[in-house]
Amino acid sequence: MAMTKQELPRTYTIRTLGCQMNVHDSERMAGLLEAAGLVEVSRVPEAAARATAAGDGGADVVVINTCSVRENAATRLYGNLGQLLSVKRDRPGMQIAVGGCFAQQMGSKLLDKAPWVDAVFGTHNIDVLPVLLERARHNQEAAVELEESLKTFPSTLPTKRESAYAAWVSISVGCNNTCTFCIVPHLRGKERDRRPGDILAEVQAVVDQGAIEVTLLGQNVNSYGVGFGDREAFAKLLRQVGQIEGLERVRFTSPHPAAFTDDVIAAMAETPTVMPSLHMPLQSGSDAVLRQMRRSYRRKKFEGILERVREQIPHAAITTDIIVGFPGETEEDFQQTLEVVENSRFASAFTFLYSPRPGTPAADREDQVPEEVKHERYQRLVKLQERISTEENRALVGREVQVLVAEGEGRKDEATSRITGRAADNRLVHVALPPEFTGTIRPGDMVTAEVTYGAPHHLVADSALSGGKFEVRATRAGDAWADREAKLAEAEAEAASTAVGLGMPTIKVRSN
């Protein structure tokens, strides 16, 4: 009987642009595709071998989960799609789907510039992705479907989580704020809160699967509960999540200064599993600019929040967001931002050059700050924050840190004989292994070491090199990671062993 090559399973890859909410949405998209019978391309070596520089990964289905907040989002997307066009021409049956905030904003107009895209879906209807791909394949034309409001709460959808040891859990979607620079409320809609019982059930489920860290997600987490009439609901939720047995680390992002209350600070301070890290977006240190941004807090309130947090959580690492060059920003306004940054001693800051977002009030203003002025101010801000971050990190030398070992965080780990992960305060830490170390340390395990050096964006804990502190604690999360890796290896071996068969065999694709 003649030898015939087995047909490979249909594969997918997802490229995520933007915020943590998009990362979590991509996990939902992966779960939907797996439930529909597709396989992540890295698990099919023969398919992955076809990967090109276009970022297709060798997959049959490429999904791009887009962002409208980040600068040059449109330019990046259309550039990526242009690269994928040549790949699609050479790969029969390949499909490209575009979802997320930019897709919600553009809808079918996206096809005017990229008519080779097969499916367009928005932030409110992630669940239709497999159906749109099948419709496009059957009809041989692009399938576009958008919803004006949320149709299915994302957390009810199948999920393929990126990490075995840490999980995102949405507590709400959408936003009720009206910041003049932000397009998110238009694209993700009004805030909708999940019921506390549903959130706790999901957290319990991911802990049962091995996760020891959970990050609660929302566009404005501390306004959680307004929808069902409980303004103290977020603080209560933090305490309840923190009591779940087996969960070692609880984080949340992002809060809004206007709605950040003392009961949340108390919950953070009094719940041991809530980590001493806080992301508190400043945006500007000028009251005049904050007013024009329609941010419903002022400098004094913001600085008061930081003061009270540090009173109750002295070692808290506080990070922030800052926009440089908002329309009408004067040098005096910018100096006030620099003053707040100097006084606040942020562990790090996400700094952005203001860029107009179509559909936002700020984009239509005539007093746009010249590009050269924005760039000059931006460089001054970055230089200041780099100095502060370096000083704050160097002040930690000699302190013991517990590091949750992460996968893929340390690009130079192999060359430097280190492992990398996050400390309790969410700082990135590179930990040296003892000389001639022969043990096993897995992502999800905990390592305790002493900080020996502080750089602007990370800590180094090389205490083991001089016989100092180095302890490893194997965890359930490490077990879960190892179990997942074993199952993936088994699936890859199965796929490889059946790549060539007799006659016309079939392959059974297992969905997670």
**Residues placed in the known binding site for [4Fe-4S] cluster:** 19, 67, 101, 175, 179, 182
Tell me how crowded residue 91 is: count the other CB atoms within 10 A of its CB. Answer: 17
Q: Is beta strand 119-121 parallel, antiparallel or unpaired with respect to 143-145?
A: parallel
CA 1 to chain centre: 51
Q: Round to whole Å and give the CA distance between 73 and 184.
A: 14
What are the distances in angstroms from CA 241 to CA 173, 197, 199?
19, 10, 9
69 CB-side CA count, 13 A: 23
Q: Is beta strand 418-422 parallel, antiparallel or unpaired with respect to 428-432?
A: antiparallel
Tokens 């809609």 belong to which residue?
Answer: 189
Q: Where are the alpha helices (DSSP H) in 140-195?
A: 184-188
Tell me how crowded residue 147 is: count the other CB atoms within 10 A of its CB. Answer: 16
Q: Round to whole Å and give the CA distance between 251 and 101.
A: 24
What 3-state DSSP class applies to 67?
A: coil
| Residue 265: both structure tokens together | 């600070």
Q: Round to whole Å and give the CA distance between 215 and 210.
A: 15
Q: Round to whole Å and give the CA distance between 98 and 101.
A: 10
- Which residues are known binding-site members? 19, 67, 101, 175, 179, 182
What 3-state DSSP class applies to 158?
A: coil
Q: Round to whole Å and give the CA distance between 402 and 459.
A: 12
| Residue 202: both structure tokens together | 């999901």
What 3-state DSSP class applies to 500?
A: strand
SS3 of 176-187: CCCCCCCCHHHH
Q: Where are the alpha helices (DSSP H) in 355-498?
A: 371-394, 413-416, 476-497
- Give the H/E segment covering residue 321: strand 317-324
Please, are residues 423 and 412 in contact by the beta-carbon 8 Å criterion?
no
What are the distances in angstroms from CA 437 to CA 432, 440, 444, 452?
10, 9, 19, 19
